Chain A
Amino acid sequence: TQLLEQSPQFLSIQEGENLTVYCNSSSVFSSLQWYRQEPGEGPVLLVTVVTGGEVKKLKRLTFQFGDARKDSSLHITAAQPGDTGLYLCAGWNSGGSNYKLTFGKGTLLTVNP
């Protein structure tokens, strides 16, 4: 069974602070996606990373895929209250018959004004 461990589980910070969320596994993933979910809504895709060592930037958000394609991080610079939400990492397994997207349990981020 492929598992994705996210840390921290909860994070409460002040507006303007920087933060990093981690997503780790002992399994290799063919690609990894990050989603954000707001209360009462479904998750929305932020980014997909495919190549080991890949770094993608989305405004103040920086995503990195580990060299071995087993882990990823999300760094937010100068967090704003609008960044509040549940951040989920999700990995596609690298093949075989059990083809599915495995989600971590998420990091609940609260950015206080």
Chain B
Amino acid sequence: EAGVTQSPTHLIKTRGQQATLRCSPISGHTSVYWYQQALGLGLQFLLWYDEGEERNRGNFPPRFSGRQFPNYSSELNVNALELEDSALYLCASSSFLGLSNQPQHFGDGTRLSIL
């Protein structure tokens, strides 16, 4: 089975620009999660989508937003980019049933660099 795929692999932007990151979950998974992995800070939870709805969001400003499409793929949008947004953005998917016991299957991430 195909794993979680993320695109692009690398993205270089300048301050103030907007970035769009994409994620395709494993077939049959309805939940998609986004995390930010910045140096020294570990994985920080950004957003969780299931069945097209935002189920929870982490402690990030509103310029971080996203959506989930009918085919369960997802986009993460970051507006008004700041230098501290430079990080690896990871997407994960899982089955919704028995959520807390399900593994989250991660993609290999999008490396976002802000110049």
We find that the number of chain A residues with CB closer than 8 angstroms to chain B is 25
Asked if residues B43 and A43 are in contact (CB atoms below 8 Å), the reply is yes
Kindly identify which residue among A44, A90, A102, A105 contacts B41, using a CB–CB cutoff of 8 Å: A105
A82 within 8 A of B: no
Closest to B58 in A: A100
Report the Cα distance A90→B48, complex, angstroms.
Answer: 16
B63 within 8 A of A: no
B40 within 8 A of A: yes
Asked if residues A105 and B42 are in contact (CB atoms below 8 Å), the reply is yes
Residues of A contacting B48 in the complex (Cβ-Cβ under 8 angstroms): 99-100
Report the Cα distance A92→B100, complex, angstroms.
Answer: 6
A20 within 8 A of B: no
Instruction: Report the minimal beta-carbon distance from B112 to chain A, rounded to whole angstroms.
Output: 15
Report the Cα distance A106→B90, complex, angstroms.
Answer: 15
Q: B12-20, B72-80, B102-110: which one contacts chain A?
A: B102-110
Residues of A contacting B109 in the complex (Cβ-Cβ under 8 angstroms): 42
Kindly state the interface size class of chain B when it binds its partner: 20 to 34
Asked if residues B104 and A31 are in contact (CB atoms below 8 Å), the reply is no
Closest to B47 in A: A100
Asked if residues A31 and B106 are in contact (CB atoms below 8 Å), the reply is no
Asked if residues B42 and A103 are in contact (CB atoms below 8 Å), the reply is yes
Asked if residues B56 and A98 are in contact (CB atoms below 8 Å), the reply is yes
Asked if residues A42 and B101 are in contact (CB atoms below 8 Å), the reply is no
Residues of B contacting A43 in the complex (Cβ-Cβ under 8 angstroms): 43, 90, 104, 106
Closest to B45 in A: A100
Asked if residues B103 and A48 are in contact (CB atoms below 8 Å), the reply is yes
Kindly identify which residue among B43, B55, B101, B103 contacts A99, using a CB–CB cutoff of 8 Å: B55
Spell out B's residues near A (CB within 8 Å).
4, 33, 35, 40-45, 48, 55-56, 58-59, 90, 92, 99-101, 103-109
Spell out A's residues near B (CB within 8 Å).
1, 30-31, 33, 40-45, 48, 50, 88, 90, 92, 97-106
Q: Could you list 21 examples of A-B contacts with CB < 8 Å?
A: A41-B108, A42-B4, A42-B90, A42-B107, A42-B108, A42-B109, A43-B90, A50-B101, A88-B42, A92-B99, A97-B56, A98-B56, A100-B48, A100-B58, A101-B45, A101-B104, A102-B45, A103-B43, A105-B40, A105-B41, A106-B42
